[in-house]
Structure 1
Amino acid sequence: MRLKKSLIMMQAFGALAFSTATLAETSSDNVLSIEVEGRALTLYKEDEATFATRTSTLIDKTPQSVQVITQDLIEDQAANEAPDIYRSMSGVSYLNYGIIKMRGFEQESQVLYDGIKGDPFRTFTIPQLFNIEQVQSLKGPSGAAYGAGEAGGVINYVTKKPTYEQKNNIELTAGNKDFLSGSVESSGPVNEDGTQRYRAGIYSSSEGSYRNNVEEDNEIIDLGYAWDLSDDSTLTLQYTHFYQLGERLRGVPIDSDGNFLTDISWNSNEPDDYQKFESDIFQASLEHSINDWLDSNFTLRYYETEEIIKFHQARALVDTDDDGEYDEVTRRYQDQTRIYKGFDLASYFVADLGEHTLVTGADYHFASEDELFYYKNVDNLSLTDPAYDADISSYDIRDSANLNTDRVTELNQIGAYIQDQWQATEKLNVLAGARLDYFEEDYVDNTDSSSNASYNDIGYSARIGATYDLNQRVKPYTSFSTGLTPQSASDQADSEDGSLFDPEESKQFEIGMRTYLLNNRLNINTAVYHIVRNNTITADDDGNTAAIGEVRSQGLEVDVLVDITPRWVANISYTYNDVEADDISEDNTVYRILANNPYHQLGLWTRYEFPSITSSIAFGMEYVGERTDRTTSYDEPFTIQPYTIYDLSWQTRWQDWKFQANIKNLFDEEYALAGFNEVSGAIVGERRRVYLKASYDF
């Protein structure tokens, strides 16, 4: 019903966009439209990025691995949500839901939007891409630039903004498993001189699944308004609303060799289980050029998110007839509500001082989480012949006897930093930066006041690196960077002697080479890295909580963009990654650190153009090597089997129409994306999905 309403809204919005296009026709007359026919390589390559340095810097002059997923690549792969593009990001592997690993480290807390914190998607929801122009990644510790975060890197989503030229698009997609989506987008000038511009977009989708009792609806409203207050100042206002109604999906139980114990359509959820996610995000940014050598940027971001999760979770495998094979799982019903709020204020100044480009800035980050969690043990479910007939109304779940968690966590963080880009010689460019962070967190447990805790600390981060233009074809770089992640206040409460645990501290050495061969048709970026993270909280030899663990990750990343012919382009990403955990006892910490770290990953996307019929065909491949996971019942880590899947895409254009067909998992492979634990088993990858899309530009 919500989808039908949304499609009606989109039709009305489409009519509005048509009228807006007519209104803006006069103002568009003065906008010069130039269509550039370039090499196929330009589809997927970005030469500059402000993300790593906050200045418009050539990636070749950035002494740290930076990767940009362009809008063309997102569209070609029919990527609706973040996991659809992970194959094209070296060093990135899937963990679960919206959580990934970068260079071997779990990457959850540090996701940026337009360069600042404020991620509305939480642990069990997945970032959507409808309002995203680019996806950027900075590999390794980024503390000197963005403060506290994960050791493996940070991902930045660049949102779509109002445009100077008029752009209007209507899109409709249908697919198997009852997939249906529609969107309308319009962006362009409001007044004759284009000093005021707007963006408006609406997206809605609905789909089923090959898994039992799974449906999902998504709705997104994205609005923006930009105003050139003067020749030197631009104010941009944005509002985005996300709504998602679906199921919290766990995996399918597996044995120690990674074999599924039942059909992969099995699911522990009942038909009435659901997960509802709703979020509102407000963002304002002011860019101001103070004079010909000094620029400033001020950004404010606020979001409110609510997650309501009611589902049946598998808890333990059971062998009811003692024949040596599991045939049931025990379950409990969980009723969870999480309310998240975040506020971020960031500002920085960029001074162009000739050979030096100086950046100074400060930011403030506030995040709160209010969680209420009830659960109750309920009837078992068969693995081979599940009967989905639970009477949820009889559970009487919201009873004090079923209350597990009622807590509030609040985090405040203030940071200040300075950075210098020094063009030391014509060929040598040096980058150095340092940052100071103060953070404090308060944890209130409404079920047990003795668990209440507060924590505050100060941390330092630094980065230094250099790039060198050996010649036009070979451009090496090297860097050293550090980062930190504060321990949570609730973990501090578990300290045996009451002392505070130091933040996790990470450092990375990286060397790389950017090469341009075959008359610039072949671009190869190679990076070798070594990361050490200290102060991991774990159990010591006596079973007490202590910050003694050290984790080491090292590996190789190779990213290739190549014009095989002027019409044939390929994008290839390969990763070798090796993670070890030293001085960490055999507890759940080891499981989280070592789980789902493949030694080898390979992603390929290649596209061939047929200009005579304005069409293209594309082929994709993803290989993820064998991984391990840990449980309490297997003596050795259990195996997550490797997989290889293939995709196919066809595009054709006719006048202002674009038609596209995508087949994902072409050969309908059954595979595990990642391991979760023995009972929840392996998170199952998508079976074959077919999407047919028609879009119209006007």
Structure 2
Amino acid sequence: MRQSLIAVGILGALHMPLQTLAQQVESDVTPQVAEQQEQKSLERIQVTSRALNLYRNGESDSGKLSVDPLNSTQMITSINENLIKDQGARDAKDLYRNIAGVSLFSYAGVTARGFRQEEIYFDGLRGDPYVGFNVPQLFNVEQVDFLKGPAGMLYGAGDPGGIFNYVTKKPKTETQANARLILGTDKRFGGSVEATGETFNNQSGRVGLFYEEQDGFRDNTASEVTIVDLGYRFEFENALLTTQYTHYAQDLDGNRLRGVPTNDEGEFYTDVSWNHNEASDFLNLRSDVFQVSLEGAITRNLSYDAKVRFIDNEQDQQYHEPRVLIDLDMDEIPDLVLREFRDQIREEQSTSVGINFEYQSTAFGAQQRTAFGIEHFDGDFDGYFGTYRPYSGNDDIAAIVSRYLSGTSLATDIVPLRLNDPDYGLTDSDSYLPSYRDSSSTQKRQGAYLLNELAWQQFTLVAGIRTDKFEDGSAGSDFDDTEQTFRLGAIYKPSENVSIYTQWADSYQPQSIGNQATEVGGSFDPVTGEIIELGINAELFNESTLFRAAIYQIKRQNILQNTGTDPENDGRDNLAALGEVTSDGLEIEVLSDLTENWVLSLAYAYNDAVITKDNGSGGFSNNVGDQFANAPRNTLGFWTRYQLPEYNLALAFGGDYVDERLSLSGQTVKSYFIADASIIYEVDNYSVLLRIDNLFDKEYAESGFLDRTGHFPGETRSAFVEVNYNF
């Protein structure tokens, strides 16, 4: 909290001179400069085609310097509010098809360019209000950016596949208000109200309320989500001060969810509705987020933005973890699952501060933009972990199974669960005798960066450097280090609407302090990575089509993977560090007006992520030359919308193909294609969306995990109707 107060003081100090500088800034701007700025502004909002206006964001700030695709030395996929609404997206998982090279790994984690990626950003700041096992909701999000490749120079420690940056909704001066009602299958019911607009002179506010509940397609599961989103903005002569508060509440019954067991060929042993959890199991999240941001100009050439965010959240869960698959009749098909019970509470308080400056000038006959800034993250994490496993070897397992089969189970037994016709309710967690341990850790991240861009008429050069200091600690263990990361990029524009770019960048990620413990096989060296990339961005066919393509190679060393074994029998699976994984890939993204009323968004990726060096110590099922876990070679996602203006209708259809993969245990995860469809009716202030997900009711696995926990099944067919009214 002390860092939070210091940061607020910094914001105040930055804002104090703004009033006194206002007249000087105004006098510095010559009529010619003012005319150029006005012309530039008009050029940015000019609508050249309906596709670019409907689904495309003009520029992205996630690369520190605001750029459009034709002037970027890296691929940034931006998903705007129109596409989110048209696809009926409720959480981040609904959007992955729109991003070439991204597919589900588990929970909020994805595979990005061949590598597991879990960390997310909000408004450019580190810190996750969803704590990993809860998937980010989209109600208060107006844009989702995925910045591809290593972003160490831009954001510090991170994974080399890319990062998600969620841009939240802010108050607007224009009065807008809407209400939504949603009804769907599986007892889905919910709604939302939003309002924003000017409140007093040079002030505006925002209020948003969201609620939705639904039963899950798996046994014992249901969800209930509530979001309260408030914002208030003060507009000064040369600055904007925005305050925000968001409360997240998410109650998930029958969670934390693992998968459904499969054989080595990826065939489910039982129905995808099977759940290892009892009806009494749950995963509940409460998160409060406070954010203050200040942006403006100090001189005509020097602008800034400064943000402070504080997160206070708690995640409480009780669930039954699958541990042993039991084959009673020896036909090589499991009949029972032996489980353990876990009772976990995670609490987190974090403060994130970012202060960024941008200076514009000329140098060497080029337009020069220089971004520089500092960032600070301070997190305190407290955990209370209980585990109950009433067996320690084969004799205990045999005794528990024997008692279950004879109907004489003890109250302290965790009764095995059948894979077919599961008999829930035979075990009572109140009778368990778990052992508990406390776990506390701290994490500090401090970084300073410098990024410079020189732009001539046809050439652009970008170079950046960043220094980060890391300090992680927990009881009896501390880790600190300092690391530098770099980025180089260049653009050549053979014509006004075509640009060819290349980049080299590296990344660095310290292993989490929990993964340095001897109980999981620690300690481990840091993860490192680097990329070399070549790409093309083009606006084709009278600027009706945005075409983007890239080829890349990423090398990453010392990645930790769960071995699924616990030789010390301490309740914690051991980890193993792979020597090196090399990811070679091709990505293509297209956004196009096929006709005046027909829009297409397409994202294709080929990725070959293979283990190129082992750890030299065994204990892991994958070998050199094997495909890296949950990294599909081919993915294809598309979304197309055709409008019928005479009927006020739009028909939309989407598809998502993910190639065959390997699970963490080396089991096959079969390829799949699923399709979705929507009908959108819009007239005056009303709109009605009819959405069908998994149109053909395909049974499939979204991703694989361990053999004992199975593959994560994809959702079965569902439908909903959403009615929206704009005031």
**Matched position secondary structure for 2:289:** strand
- Does 1:529 pair with 2:529? no
- Does 1:409 pair with 2:475? no
Classify 1:539/1:666 alpha carbon distance in 2 versus 1 (closer, same or farther; 3 Å): closer
- Does 1:40 pair with 2:51? yes
Q: 1:207 aligns with which of 198, 214, 224?
A: 214
Deviations 1:652-695 (A, max 9, x none): 11221111101010011111101111121110101111010101
Deviations 1:343-393 (A, max 9, x none): 111101111113211111001111222111112231100111211113425
**Matched position secondary structure for 2:93:** helix
Q: CA deviation at 1:339?
A: 0.8
1:555 matched residue in structure 2: 585
2:370 matched residue in structure 1: 358
Distance in 2 separating the partners of 1:697 and 1:495: 56
**Partner letter of residue 79 of structure 1?**
A
Q: 2:167 aligns with which of 151, 158, 171?
A: 158
**Matched position secondary structure for 2:375:** strand
Classify 1:233/1:394 alpha carbon distance in 2 versus 1 (closer, same or farther; 3 Å): closer
**Normalization by structure 1: what TM-score?**
0.88
Q: 1:443 aligns with which of 459, 467, 474?
A: 474
2:242 matched residue in structure 1: 236
- Does 1:605 pair with 2:612? no
- Does 1:135 pair with 2:144? yes
The answer as to whether partners of 2:521 and 2:576 remain within 8 angstroms in 1 is: no
Structure 1's unaligned 5+ residue stretches are 1-33, 445-451, 632-636
Q: 1:305 aligns with which of 305, 313, 330?
A: 313
* Number of equivalent positions: 640
- Does 1:370 pair with 2:382? yes
Distance in 2 separating the partners of 1:588 and 1:219: 41
Q: 1:488 aligns with which of 512, 516, 526?
A: 512
- Does 1:503 pair with 2:539? no
**Matched position secondary structure for 1:348:** strand
Distance in 2 separating the partners of 1:538 and 1:336: 22
The answer as to whether partners of 2:69 and 2:537 remain within 8 angstroms in 1 is: no
Classify 1:38/1:560 alpha carbon distance in 2 versus 1 (closer, same or farther; 3 Å): closer
The answer as to whether partners of 1:538 and 1:584 remain within 8 angstroms in 2 is: no
Q: CA deviation at 1:463?
A: 0.6
The answer as to whether partners of 2:197 and 2:205 remain within 8 angstroms in 1 is: yes
Distance in 2 separating the partners of 1:688 and 1:537: 35
1:595 matched residue in structure 2: 629
Distance in 1 separating the partners of 2:480 and 2:220: 45
Q: CA deviation at 1:38?
A: 4.8
**Partner letter of residue 640 of structure 1?**
V
Distance in 1 separating the partners of 2:356 and 2:645: 46
The answer as to whether partners of 1:166 and 1:189 remain within 8 angstroms in 2 is: yes
**Matched position secondary structure for 2:646:** helix
**Matched position secondary structure for 2:416:** strand
**Matched position secondary structure for 1:57:** coil
Q: CA deviation at 1:428?
A: 0.8
The answer as to whether partners of 1:539 and 1:584 remain within 8 angstroms in 2 is: no
Q: CA deviation at 1:589?
A: 8.6
**Matched position secondary structure for 2:142:** strand
Q: CA deviation at 1:488?
A: 2.7
Classify 1:546/1:74 alpha carbon distance in 2 versus 1 (closer, same or farther; 3 Å): closer
**Matched position secondary structure for 1:56:** coil
Classify 1:41/1:392 alpha carbon distance in 2 versus 1 (closer, same or farther; 3 Å): same
**Matched position secondary structure for 1:87:** helix
Q: 1:75 aligns with which of 65, 85, 97?
A: 85
Distance in 1 separating the partners of 2:631 and 2:265: 16
Distance in 2 separating the partners of 1:478 and 1:427: 14
Equivalent residues in 2 for 1:20-59, closer than 5 Å? 38-52=49-63, 54-59=64-69
2:104 matched residue in structure 1: 94
1:571 matched residue in structure 2: 601
Distance in 1 separating the partners of 2:57 and 2:237: 27
1:188 matched residue in structure 2: 197
Classify 1:320/1:539 alpha carbon distance in 2 versus 1 (closer, same or farther; 3 Å): closer
Root mean square deviation, CA, Å? 2.3
**Matched position secondary structure for 1:83:** helix
1:660 matched residue in structure 2: 689
Distance in 2 separating the partners of 1:557 and 1:437: 31
**Matched position secondary structure for 2:153:** helix
Structure 2's unaligned 5+ residue stretches are 1-44, 390-413, 568-573
- Does 1:433 pair with 2:445? no
Distance in 1 separating the partners of 2:250 and 2:577: 38
**Matched position secondary structure for 2:181:** strand
Distance in 2 separating the partners of 1:566 and 1:218: 39
Deviations 1:254-284 (A, max 9, x none): 0111101011111111111111111000100
Deviations 1:119-163 (A, max 9, x none): 111221110000000000110100111111111111100000001
**Partner letter of residue 434 of structure 1?**
I
Classify 1:481/1:166 alpha carbon distance in 2 versus 1 (closer, same or farther; 3 Å): same
**Partner letter of residue 238 of structure 1?**
Q
Distance in 2 separating the partners of 1:675 and 1:365: 33
2:656 matched residue in structure 1: 622
Classify 1:630/1:100 alpha carbon distance in 2 versus 1 (closer, same or farther; 3 Å): closer
Distance in 2 separating the partners of 1:171 and 1:587: 52
**Matched position secondary structure for 2:94:** helix
2:408 matched residue in structure 1: none
Classify 1:138/1:630 alpha carbon distance in 2 versus 1 (closer, same or farther; 3 Å): closer
The answer as to whether partners of 1:205 and 1:217 remain within 8 angstroms in 2 is: yes
1:274 matched residue in structure 2: 282
Equivalent residues in 2 for 1:460-479, closer than 5 Å? 460-479=484-503
Q: Which sits farther off after the overlay, 119-128 or 197-206? A: 119-128
**Partner letter of residue 108 of structure 2?**
G
**Matched position secondary structure for 1:594:** coil
Distance in 2 separating the partners of 1:588 and 1:570: 43
Distance in 2 separating the partners of 1:358 and 1:45: 26
Q: CA deviation at 1:493?
A: 4.8
Q: 1:380 aligns with which of 396, 409, 416?
A: 416
**% same residue:** 36
Deviations 1:438-461 (A, max 9, x none): 0010022xxxxxxx2101000011
2:76 matched residue in structure 1: 66
The answer as to whether partners of 2:477 and 2:513 remain within 8 angstroms in 1 is: yes
Classify 1:128/1:556 alpha carbon distance in 2 versus 1 (closer, same or farther; 3 Å): same
- Does 1:322 pair with 2:362? no
Distance in 2 separating the partners of 1:37 and 1:560: 16
**Matched position secondary structure for 1:210:** coil
The answer as to whether partners of 1:453 and 1:490 remain within 8 angstroms in 2 is: no
Equivalent residues in 2 for 1:116-135, closer than 5 Å? 116-135=125-144
Equivalent residues in 2 for 1:387-398, closer than 5 Å? 387-397=423-433
Distance in 1 separating the partners of 2:46 and 2:462: 36
2:479 matched residue in structure 1: 455
The answer as to whether partners of 1:431 and 1:465 remain within 8 angstroms in 2 is: yes
- Does 1:148 pair with 2:157? yes
Q: CA deviation at 1:535?
A: 3.7
Classify 1:629/1:537 alpha carbon distance in 2 versus 1 (closer, same or farther; 3 Å): closer
Deviations 1:383-412 (A, max 9, x none): 112111134254244x5xx22x42111111
Classify 1:461/1:263 alpha carbon distance in 2 versus 1 (closer, same or farther; 3 Å): same
1:24 matched residue in structure 2: none
- Does 1:216 pair with 2:223? yes
Classify 1:545/1:103 alpha carbon distance in 2 versus 1 (closer, same or farther; 3 Å): closer
The answer as to whether partners of 1:556 and 1:576 remain within 8 angstroms in 2 is: yes
The answer as to whether partners of 1:538 and 1:587 remain within 8 angstroms in 2 is: no
Deviations 1:152-191 (A, max 9, x none): 1111000000011001000001000000111000001012
2:403 matched residue in structure 1: none
